[in-house]
Amino acid sequence: MNKIIRKIHFLYHRYIEEILFGNYLIPWFYNTFKKVEKKKRLDIGQSVLVWNIDSLGDSTWITPVLKSLIKDPRKFKVTLVHNELCSVLFKGYENEITLIGINPKKYYTPFGINDFKSLPLEKGMYDSMIILEMGSRPADAGRLLGHHLGIKNISSTNLGTLKNICHYVAPENKDDSPEYWPKHFLKTLEPFEIEKEQAKIDLRLDQTQELDQILIHPVVAGYGMSTKMLPLEKMKTLIKFILDKTDYDIVLSSGPGEERYIKNLLDMLDIKVDISRIKNVSGKLSIKDLLRVISESKAVICNDTSVLHFATNFDKPIITFFGATNESKIVDLDNDRVSVFSTDLECRSCHKNSDYYPFWPKCKFESAMCLDDIDMNDVVDRLRDIL
């Protein structure tokens, strides 16, 4: 009986809530009856609301927009609504902008994206709004909030289905002409005629003293586990090289609930490996602690995760691996401190920034060949050069 109830719940959530309402009925209603006039030029006024509630990594990409607003001679009053998990990332900005951290969970659901009762925001407080989102639902929630608050000058990134209820939508960041997301986010400032800062992550965090250690973060969060994570057997090659050929210690990290992957990786190691030189902090670090460990490390090895963006902020040498996602959007390829490894398959990149659910790809192979086929000899050579 319980299996039947769970199945019914799944089918309702998947086909009625997500597809029927989320993809069709709700977008149709707002885009038809709440449509606003598109404008090439917007009046920014004095009070600016910035909306970014998606993931940790995406939050780092908005810093060039924040810096551009702060440095403008018109001295705007800027308020940032962000994911409460990211509060530590914006500590360096708290004296110049107002920070409002929220739990974004309900804004990922079709029936929660217009629930703003708990937000300390009122109509008439803001002259303009900038929506900086990678997620379709969070983007739409921001547009509905702007509409709810009566904001007359709303500029938004392109994802989401409710594009008719904001006044300016930036061009799409297409896979055939990809652009680094921080640079692309700056396009939301164009209708306000604001001078753009450099498209570089800047969390304004203090650098700590570097130790003789290398951070390896071999996992990725959520849906991307099968198509974004280098096989652990390959990651073992790098651990063996570091322990056999260098004097550096290794720190192994992961997020909560991912500890089993680190255990599996450690179980793969040869019994001759000096395990005392490996510090396992998987599932134990707060975001603040993770930032400190990155800052302390000589180099960082990771997949396409928030760790990549944190390490970029600290200007660390980085070795990173890409499968389903497009590195041209996610990595500053002009930054010679970042070494990207992937396989040039015709099907890459298979992850699309989509307005519709579900958007994460299922690999057409038994496992992700774009990661499986990475030549670890090339990676070891690059690591040797870095160290």
- Output the CA torsion sign for 364, 175, 141, 54: positive
- Output the CA torsion sign for 345, 347, 350, 353: positive
What pLDDT shows up at residue 6?
A: 86
Q: How far apart are CA 33 and CA 20, in angstroms?
A: 18
Residue-range domains of the chain with CATH: 29-192 (3.40.50.2000), 213-386 (3.40.50.2000)
What pLDDT shows up at residue 170?
A: 97
Q: How far apart are CA 60 and CA 166, in angstroms?
A: 24
Of the candidates 332, 351, 339, 338, which has an alpha carbon nearest to the alpha carbon of residue 224? Answer: 351
Q: How far apart are CA 375 and CA 367, in angstroms?
A: 16
Q: What is the number of alpha carbons within 13 Å of residue 142 lying toward its C-beta?
A: 34
With 0-12 / 13-18 / 19 or more C-beta atoms within 10 angstroms meaning exposed / middle / buried, residue 277 is middle
Per the CB < 8 A criterion, the answer to whether 137 and 160 are in contact is yes
- Give the number of other Cβ atoms within 10 Å of residue 354's Cβ: 12
Can you list the alpha helix ranges (DSSP code H) found in the chain? 2-11, 26-33, 56-60, 63-71, 136-148, 181-185, 225-228, 232-245, 259-268, 287-296, 306-313, 327-330, 369-372, 376-386
Q: What angle do CA 108, 112, 117 make, to 5 degrees?
A: 125
* Percent with pLDDT over 90 in the chain: 77
pTM, 2 dp: 0.93
What pLDDT shows up at residue 223?
A: 63
The one-letter amino acid code at 53 reads I
pLDDT digits (tens, 9 = 90+) for 246-295: 999 999 999 999 999 999 999 998 767 778 999 999 999 999 999 999 99
Distance of CA 17 to the CA centre of its chain: 25
SS3 385: helix
- Output the CA torsion sign for 288, 290, 293, 295: negative
Distances (CA, A) of 52 to 141, 245, 296: 10, 43, 28
SS3 373: coil
What does the DSSP 8-state code read for residue 258? -
Of the candidates 186, 182, 141, which has an alpha carbon nearest to the alpha carbon of residue 160? Answer: 141
The parts of the chain modelled with pLDDT lower than 50 are none
Per the CB < 8 A criterion, the answer to whether 185 and 65 are in contact is yes
pLDDT digits (tens, 9 = 90+) for 34-92: 999 999 999 999 999 999 998 888 899 999 999 999 999 999 999 999 999 999 999 99
3-state helix/strand/coil string of 56-111: HHHHHCCHHHHHHHHHCCCCCEEEEEEEHHHHHHHHHHCCCCEEEEECCHHHHCCC
Omega before 358 within 30 of 0, i.e. cis? yes
Q: Which residues pair with 250 in a beta bridge?
A: 214, 278
Per the CB < 8 A criterion, the answer to whether 317 and 299 are in contact is yes
Query: Which two three-digit tokens encode residue 152?
Result: 């007359």
